[in-house]
């Protein structure tokens, strides 16, 4: 299993080479949404901007707050930014990778063979003295990326009960208070899927917003119950930060499925059980 991450030094060398990767800026936050203004103020040279809400999801609805995007519409956005079927791609955001991982996972799901996340994102790039440029960027040459959906592990709502009952490890990537049902700032119902284990996404990174080293990630997920031979799946609020967890698991050598609709989809059916507390 190849690493889903790259670092600043490696990326700088690749950008100076004969086959540089396409860069995707995916700055976004739950409270403020896509940060196009921040992108225009300063981004990695040649990076194109991707709006998570518009480009990496269909409109909110019965499938949740961030349903998987229409494959052709998704691919069209990436083609305009220069992504080819075999062009290396590096995604980044402001730092911790929670938004960049959504782009990473979607590209993997749609069959792209070479996509990584810049560990530490823009913050790490600038801390290392990497140059930035302002205005709108992106590749001048369109790519030929053709989506082939279904190339990454997925768990559906209908599969969740059997998955948990059969001993699968279902990780909830939201913060602890949301898991416990103490607060719910976004969705109309608080709590978690019965049988899930709390595993906040931001525990995958250090105080600089960079992923823990492989051994530390492996230890973290082993402590949560990930062991050899046990199936693992992840959900969050709407399938965004869960992708970060899937990425961290892959970096630790664990293959994991993602429940794309996540909590925002689970609660659309009142027949599905909801748990609160530990």
Which candidate, 112, 117, 144, 132, places its Cα nearest to that of 204? Answer: 117
CA 225 centroid distance within chain = 21
Tokens of 74: 């998704």
Where do we find the tokens 């996540």?
262
Q: Which residues are catalytic?
A: 236
Q: How far apart are CA 262 and CA 212, in angstroms?
A: 25
- φ/ψ of residue 277, rounded to 5: 80, -175
């Amino acid at each position: 299993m190849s690493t889903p991450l790259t670092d600043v030094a490696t990326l700088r060398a690749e950008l100076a080479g004969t086959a540089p990767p396409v860069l995707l800026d995916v700055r976004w936050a739950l409270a403020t949404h896509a940060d196009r203004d921040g992108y225009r103020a300063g981004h990695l040279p040649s990076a194109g901007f991707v709006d998570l809400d518009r480009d990496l999801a269909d409109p909110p609805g019965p499938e949740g707050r961030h349903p998987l995007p229409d494959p052709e519409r998704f691919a069209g956005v990436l083609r305009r930014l220069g992504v080819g079927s075999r062009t290396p791609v590096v995604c980044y955001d402001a730092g911790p990778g929670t938004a960049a991982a959504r782009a990473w996972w979607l590209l993997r799901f749609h069959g792209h063979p070479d996509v990584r996340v810049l560990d530490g994102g823009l913050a790490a790039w600038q801390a290392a003295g990497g140059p930035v440029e302002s205005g709108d960027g992106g590749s001048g040459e369109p790519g030929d990326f053709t989506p082939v959906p279904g190339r990454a592990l997925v768990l559906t709502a209908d599969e969740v009960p059997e998955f948990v009952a059969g001993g699968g490890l279902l990780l909830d990537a939201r913060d602890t208070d949301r898991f416990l049902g103490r607060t719910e700032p976004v969705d109309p119902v608080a709590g978690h899927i019965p049988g899930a284990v709390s595993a906040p996404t931001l525990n995958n990174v250090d105080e600089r917003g960079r992923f823990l080293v492989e051994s530390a990630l492996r230890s973290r997920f082993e402590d949560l119950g990930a062991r050899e031979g046990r199936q693992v799946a992840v959900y969050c609020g709407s399938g965004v930060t869960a992708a970060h967890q899937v990425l961290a698991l892959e970096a630790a050598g664990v293959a994991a499925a993602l429940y794309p609709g996540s909590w925002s989809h689970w609660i659309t059916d009142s027949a599905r059980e909801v748990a609160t507390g530990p």
